[in-house]
Structure 1
Amino acid sequence: MAELTTLGQLLGAANSQYQVYDLGRRVQHIDMMAFHQIEALNSPYPFPIQGHAQFALVFWNQHGQEFVWFLKLPLDEQGLLNPAARSQFIKMVLEALGKDLTQALSDEQQQQLDNHPFAFRPSQEKLALFNALVRKQLGQQASGQYEFAMQYLSGQLPPDQWQQLGFQGLADICVRLNDLDHLQAVSYALENAAPQAIAALCQCLEHVSIPAVLADKLLAGLKTADDQKLFYLRALASCADASTQALQWLAGQQQLNADTLLTIAARNWTALKQEQARTIYLEALALQEQHFFNQIFADIVSIPALRNELLTAIRSPERSVQLSAAIGGLFRATRT
């Protein structure tokens, strides 16, 4: 029997079909061709977070029964999967289950799979978005929370009934934003729902692609919100142009504080592809504590789509004295 060295080979040997979803910065589907390139170590993981790839493998047997692995695998300095860690996980699975990955598990087998070092538990909203996205892509119905969420968002229920809303119902609507009158309901809710409901809705919107008309509404909400600016900002994560506008407006309001900078790095990082926004961000980041600068810069420079631009930016002769000092501190920390 040929040695199984990749997750794709492992699932193929078990006659399982599968899909892959990133659960690091945002919940999003990873194209199978792209995942094969990642597994072959030909491409860096596209959405690294804190030096790891956090993703879900959804696979199912010939009877349509579904199974999920939530995996957190380390990456090397080039952003490639660590093959030793992957091999360790594959070995553990084979020792526990053999090739029948969809068998009923004994208590001992379940304990082995629950306690391995590469497992992680997604946050509540990410888990809701993941479940909604999988249901949609597999052609399944939305959850039982969908109906109440739709009634609430569309104004059929009073705003003070927000306590009965669940993330899962909101997620079901957000991943189906282009279906029925979902966009209309979401737009209505952003202007009329309780603040708590709007915050939860924004946490779901940050993981889906939003149309320009909704991005405009969220950007307007960001500019008028008192204590919920970060929720509106996160909801713009899929829209690079709107995220850039939000970053520039926040800078003009002297509101690029540590929480805002962290949010942009984690969710709205596509704004940093734009040179002016990138310069504003790095200059604001340089005003923070040195350890915070080091941590955030190390995180965003690991994103393949930003790496070259960020490395060029920190070498710019036009950078400020503060940014030069922060970069010097970063280099000193890496040498110790």
Structure 2
Amino acid sequence: MTAINTLTEFLTQAGTLFQLFDMGRQVRPLATDTFVRIEQQQQPYPWPLQQHAWLGIHFYQPQAGSHYLWFLKFALDERGLLQASGPKHFMEQVVDILGYQLTGELNEAEAKRLADNPYTFRPAEAKMACVHAKLAYQLEQPPSAYYDALCRYLDQPNQHDWQTLGLQGFADLAERLHDERNLARVCKALPTLPPAPLYALCQSLENSPLPPAIQGALLERIGKEQECAAPDPETLAYLCRAMASCSRHTLRSNKLLTLLQTQPSPALLLAIAGRLWPDLQDANLQSHFMEQLALQPTSFFNQVFAELVTIPALRNVMLATLRDPTRSAPLSRAIGHLFAQG
């Protein structure tokens, strides 16, 4: 066995086929060639969260029927580059426990040793459901039993109890929006779904590309919520988050700008920073976002700013804010507190 320096080399030499997902803010595919460049520190990790890369790795051996999932997090340096010591240490631990038979059966002691390391994590339930839905669809496996129950509920919400629905059903549905029946179901249900199933649906939609009709239905539901006597900040935030996998476009950016001007809330700020941060590349939207962020408690401002400045696509935009001579007094004070605590 030749020297192994990266995870991709490790998985390849172990005879597996594999694919990668980013598991940070959203669940999205991470191209292998991109990750190879990340491993070689030729480019920063594109979607850092808390200065870590959060990875889902699906792998299997072609001649075997079993599929495996690892969820791993590795530290990034201040430039967003992967610190090679983390993957190296993890691989050493795996080889010590398993050798190079990554797809062999584990006994209880080996499973515990493999789980008890600083690089593994358990994703939130909605993200776990999303990964399973994506893999099941990709492997041409049937959706979970929760899927049919959800379809029945969406078809006749007055005759079924949403409290019996499972997150896995929502994730399965989000992977099947190309089915015109599902497209019609979601578009019909969005205007009237109560908060709990609406939030579950939005959490699943944020990880899947959305047909234009669903994007339009989400924007309409946001408009309907805005017209309420007391718009609910959580509902608005979830509806915005649901569009996270869509490419940045004018209608969405304009809606976010209107919300920042009329219905700003910590939930909305977190939705934009956590899911819709590409829209902050728009100078006008970024300016309004920063002004609203400056009105939040110092710790909230500092944490959100620290996250945004680590995103490679936003780093220069965020740093320019620190040097902007036209910024408001509240924003200047917030930045002053940021430096004071830095």
State the TM-score bracket (shorter-chain normalisation).
over 0.9
Match of 2:307 among 263, 278, 299: 299
- Secondary structure at the residue paired with 1:318? coil
| Aligned residue among 215, 229, 240 for 2:236 | 229
Secondary structure of 1:79's counterpart equals coil
Q: Could you tell me whether the CA contact under 8 Å between 1:21 and 1:29 is conserved in 2?
A: yes
Percent of aligned pairs with the same amino acid: 38
Structure 1 equivalent of residue 64 of structure 2:
63
For 1:209 and 1:298, the matched residues in 2 are separated by 28
Q: Which residue of 1 aligns with 2:214?
A: 214
Q: 2:101 — aligned with what?
A: 100
Equivalent AA in structure 2 for residue 18 of structure 1: F
Query: What stretches of structure 2 of length at least 5 have no aligned partner?
Result: 226-230
Deviates more, 1:89-98 or 1:161-170: 161-170
Query: Bigger CA drift: 290-299 or 304-313?
Result: 304-313
SS class of match (1:229): helix
Following the alignment from structure 1 to structure 2, what is the Cα–Cα distance between the partners of residues 31 and 140?
23
TM-score (norm 2): 0.92
Measure the CA separation in 2 of the matches of 1:193 and 1:243.
21
Q: What is aligned with 1:281?
A: 289
CA distance in 2, matches of 1:38, 1:3: 19
1:306-325 to 2 correspondences below 5 Å: 306-325=314-333
**Contact 2:253-2:285 at 8 Å conserved across structures:** yes
The answer to whether the 8 Å contact 1:149/1:165 transfers is yes
Partner of 1:113: 114
What is the TM-score normalised by the length of structure 1? 0.94
- State the distance in 1 between where 2:131 and 2:257 align: 31
Distance in 1 between the 2:60 and 2:284 partners? 46
Supply the AA of the counterpart residue of 2:4: L
Where do 5+ consecutive residues of structure 1 fail to align?
none
> Which residue pairs with 2:228 in the alignment?
none
Asked if 2 retains the 8 angstrom alpha-carbon contact of 1:243 and 1:268, the reply is: no
In the alignment, residue 259 of structure 2 is paired with which amino acid?
A: L
Contact 2:238-2:271 at 8 Å conserved across structures: no
Aligned-partner Cα distance in 2 for 1:211–1:308: 32
1:1-336 to 2 correspondences below 5 Å: 1-61=1-61, 62-153=63-154, 155-156=155-156, 158=158, 160-225=160-225, 226-227=231-232, 228-239=235-246, 240-241=248-249, 242-253=251-262, 255-334=263-342
Alpha-carbon RMSD across the aligned residues, in angstroms, is 1.6
Q: 2:102 and 2:176 mapped to 1: Cα distance?
A: 31
2:75–2:86 Cα contact (<8 Å) kept: yes
> Aligned partner of 2:333: which letter?
A
Moved more, 54-63 or 219-228: 219-228
2:261·2:288 contact (CA, 8 Å) conserved in 1?
Answer: no
Equivalent pair of 1:223/1:229 in contact (CA under 8 Å): no
User: How far apart, in 1, do the equivalents of 2:209 and 2:283 lie?
Assistant: 23
Look up the equivalent residue of 2:285 and give its one-letter code. Answer: A
Question: How many angstroms apart in 2 are the aligned matches of 1:58 and 1:276?
Answer: 40
Matches of 1:110 and 1:231, distance apart in 2? 37
